[in-house]
Amino acid sequence: MWEACTDVACGNLFAWLNQGPLTLTIFLHTVVVIPMFFIYFQEKKRLEEGGE
């Protein structure tokens, strides 16, 4: 399924994630953005319950 790793040093996680176009960067963007959903719902609850 995966292409052979193209990095010079393939023993590391980032090179491994860098298997096909975009795999690494999509992963990192996801890590950054997903928790914002959690923050969103938490704030919503707080506002609805009449905080601040």
Partner 1 sequence: MLINGQLKYESQKLAMNYFRVAIVLFGAQLLMGLIAAIQFLYPGFLFELFDFSVARMVHINALVVWMLYAMIGSVYYMIPDETGHEAVGIALGKLAFWILTAAVTVVVLVYIFIQVGSGSESTIWFINEGREYLEAPRWADLGIVAVVLVFYYNVFFTYLKSEKKTGIMTVMVANLFALAGLYLCGMFFTDNISMDQYWWWWVIHLWVEATWEVFVGTLAAYALIKILGAKREIVEMWLWIEVLMLFGSGILGLGHHYFWIGTPEYWWEIGALFSALEPVPLVAMFVHVLYDWGKEQGHAEAGGADTAVKNSPAMAWIASNAFGNFLGAGIWGFFHTLPQVNIYTHGTQFTAAHGHLAFFGAYATILIGMMYLGVQGAYGIKKMTMTFKSKMALFLIIFGVLGMTVALTIAGYEQVLVERADLGGGWDAFFIAQELPWYVQAQAWRLVMGIVTLVGFVYLAWDLLTIGQEVSQKESESVAATA
Partner 2 sequence: MSKKSASVWTSIPFWRRSAAWVTGVATVLLIWLTFDTMGQISMGSDEDLKNGVTKRIPAASVINYHIDYQFDDKRGHEVPVIGEKEPFFGKEWSAEEAAKLLHLGKLTSQAKNCMNCHTLLGNGAYYAPDLTKAWLDPKWNDGTMTGITGKASKEEAMAEFLMHPSQYPTHARMMPNLGITKEEAVALVAFLKHMSAIDTNGFPRNFSQSAKRLEGGTHAH
Residues in contact with partner 2 by the rule CB under 8 A: 6, 8-9, 12-14, 28, 31-33, 35-36, 39-40, 43-44, 46-50, 52
Residue 6 is a binding residue for partner 1 (CB under 8 A): yes
Give the one entry of partner 2, partner 1, none that residue 49 binds, where binding means its C-beta sits below a cut-off of 5 to 8 angstroms depending on kind: partner 2
| Rounded Cα–Cα distance for residues 40 and 44 (Å) | 6
Nearest approach, Cβ of 26 to partner 2 (angstroms)?
A: 14
